[in-house]
């Protein structure tokens, strides 16, 4: 998660050979969705009975 929060996905995708994906990426939308994913993940961990 820290890599995504740090804004590294465009760099990682570029390095992996996906420059067209980076060009089309909406970084604001990615950041917005990351908040939702992290929140859901934390809720799932909190609800785990183990």
Secondary structure (DSSP) of 22-39: HHH--HHHHHHHHHHHHH
Does the pLDDT at position 48 exceed 80?
yes
Distance of CA 14 to the CA centre of its chain: 15
Report the percent of the chain where pLDDT is more than 70.
88
Please compute the mean of the pLDDT values over residues 5-25 and round it to a whole number.
Answer: 88
Mean pLDDT of 16-31: 91
| pLDDT grade for 30, boundaries at 50, 70 and 90 | confident
| Residue 16, domain extent | 2-47
* End-to-end alpha carbon distance in the chain: 23
Tell me the CB-side half-sphere exposure of residue 22, using CA atoms within 13 A.
13
| Whether the predicted pLDDT of 7 surpasses 80 | no
Indicate the number of domains in the chain.
Answer: 1
Q: What average pLDDT does this structure show over 4-32?
A: 87
Q: How many angstroms separate the CA atoms of 18 and 28, rounded?
A: 19
């Amino acid at each position: 998660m820290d890599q995504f929060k740090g804004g590294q996905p465009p760099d990682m995708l570029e390095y992996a050979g996906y420059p067209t994906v980076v060009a089309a990426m909406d970084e604001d939308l990615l950041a917005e969705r990351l908040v939702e994913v992290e929140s859901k993940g934390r809720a799932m961990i909190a609800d785990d009975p183990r």
